[in-house]
Amino acid sequence: MRPSPIDEIADARLGAIRERGTYRRMRVLEGLQGPRMIVDGREVLLFAGSNYLDLARHPEVVEAAERGARDWGCAAGGSRLITGNLAIHEALEEELAAFFGREAALAFNTGYMANVGVIPALIGPGDVLVSDELNHASIIDGARLARADVAVFRHGDMASFADTLARARQDVQEKTRGGAPRILVAVDGVYSMDGDVAPIAEITKLAHEAEAIVLLDDAHGTGVLGARGRGTAEAAGVLDEVDILMGTLGKSIGSFGAFVAGSAKLRDLLVNTARSFIFSCALSPAQVEAARASLRLIDREPWRRARLEANCERLRNRLAEAGISTAPSTTHIIPVILGENDRTMSVCEELLARGFYAQGIRYPSVPRGRARLRITPMATHDETGIDGLADAIIDCLQDDATPGVPRPADR
């Protein structure tokens, strides 16, 4: 049998990845989603997930998923525009729209697919996407698919944003495209590696003054921030002013999928033009019914948000007392920046050995030299677990060399 050219390509590319110390492999988790799971055969406290409110295992959510599969089957049976548009999809979207105070919503299979669908639906060649430099990859890829110009501003820097927006405004005024070229401002609500929050009120104000459209990717803010869990914009007091809200169903909501909420005309536009919606099988009934149940729980059980906030504050304070910075985080995503890849992954492995899973994150997920532990507490972690993790991190970082810890070259 001849050598496969695919294997040759893989060997060359993977060899380069191993050489620069960024080779990855998937860990294997077992057990019910919750604060304690089995990771690579070891029972540990989980501080690496996105099930922030611990709704993925809630009995009402599980029962709703079971009922969805039992009553509707295990698959939707097609794309939404052919046979997959079930009544429960429409019901979920109506409930999402009502929850966020919007005219309409549309479900997508992932947050990535939502962004690569909505951005090309709104802008194209000659238009400009104004983007924070730390925006999620799906926003970057959405702009590439749209073939729009991209103007990047410094992360969270309002002076840089104002200058970038003004230059984009001047640029589009000099162009014609059968009408006025458009500016789309896209930002994350909560930045997934640093845990800081976009200054969305100021961004929205300046963007609207420049006649730009605002897209808020609130994948990590949905369900957690704001008085009712409606996210970053609610917390900032501008929920009604952001033009397009994108959120996920697979993080705080504890199911799977994503949604875009906005005007009825936006929904109609996406149904007709968003390729990632048109050419995808619909969400399964189990996922839809689980999301609907979870959405009701978010409204009914605000204690989960309060407990999550308290757990995160306790962990930040414990680490700060030991001189360990978690800046710039103000949310449920807590980074401890260690810098070097090897050191970060060694600490990650040592924590796992001690019974705590907080994943090490390296380039290209974060900038070079900014490798970190990315810690994500849950609403249902108790104080003993939070304190135990803090003690383990403090102990591991007392000696930069972390002696006795193997170099995890395959991680």
- Whether residue 160 is predicted with pLDDT greater than 60 in this model: the reply is yes
What is the end-to-end Cα distance of the chain in Å, rounded?
32
Which residue, of 300, 333, 359, is where some domain finishes? 300
- Whether residue 37 is predicted with pLDDT greater than 50 in this model: the reply is yes
Q: Are residues 44 and 104 in the same domain?
A: no
Q: Are residues 90 and 137 in the same domain?
A: yes
pLDDT at 59: 98
Which residue, of 268, 284, 300, is where some domain finishes? 300
- Whether residue 75 is predicted with pLDDT greater than 80 in this model: the reply is yes
The answer to the question of residue 199 being in a domain is yes
Q: Are residues 347 and 234 in the same domain?
A: no
Q: If we measure between CA atoms, which residue out of 1, 22, 4 comes closest to residue 362?
A: 22
pLDDT at 407: 37
Residue 192 a catalytic site member: yes
Which CATH number is 328's domain given?
Answer: 3.90.1150.10
Q: Are residues 185 and 289 in the same domain?
A: yes
The answer to the question of residue 12 being in a domain is no
- The active-site residue out of 58, 136, 155, 220 is 220
Q: Are residues 183 and 279 in the same domain?
A: yes
Write out pLDDT tens, residues 216-271.
999 999 999 999 999 999 999 999 999 999 999 999 999 999 999 999 999 999 99
pLDDT at 399: 65
Q: Are residues 289 and 335 in the same domain?
A: no
Confidence of residue 410 (pLDDT cuts 50, 70, 90): very low
Write out pLDDT tens, residues 338-395.
999 999 999 999 999 999 999 999 988 899 899 999 999 999 999 999 999 999 999 9
Which residue, of 278, 300, 322, is where some domain finishes? 300
Q: If we measure between CA atoms, which residue out of 60, 56, 152, 50 comes closest to residue 111?
A: 50
Q: Are residues 317 and 248 in the same domain?
A: no
Q: Are residues 43 and 81 in the same domain?
A: no
The answer to the question of residue 13 being in a domain is no
Rounded to the nearest integer, the mean pLDDT of the chain is 94
Q: Are residues 69 and 208 in the same domain?
A: yes
- 181 CB contacts (<8 Å, ≥6 apart)? 126, 127, 128, 172, 175
Residue 131 a catalytic site member: no
The answer to the question of residue 67 being in a domain is yes
Residue-number span of the structural domain to which 207 is assigned: 59-300
Model-wide pTM > 0.85:
yes
The number of folded domains in the chain is: 2
Confidence of residue 86 (pLDDT cuts 50, 70, 90): very high
Confidence of residue 400 (pLDDT cuts 50, 70, 90): low
Q: Are residues 182 and 138 in the same domain?
A: yes
- The active-site residue out of 131, 138, 192, 346 is 192
- Whether residue 144 is predicted with pLDDT greater than 70 in this model: the reply is yes
Q: Are residues 175 and 289 in the same domain?
A: yes
Residue 280 a catalytic site member: no
Which CATH number is 153's domain given?
Answer: 3.40.640.10
- The active-site residue out of 136, 155, 251, 381 is 251
Q: If we measure between CA atoms, which residue out of 260, 285, 126, 279 comes closest to residue 186?
A: 260
Two tokens, residue 112: 């990535």
CA distance 302 to 223: 10
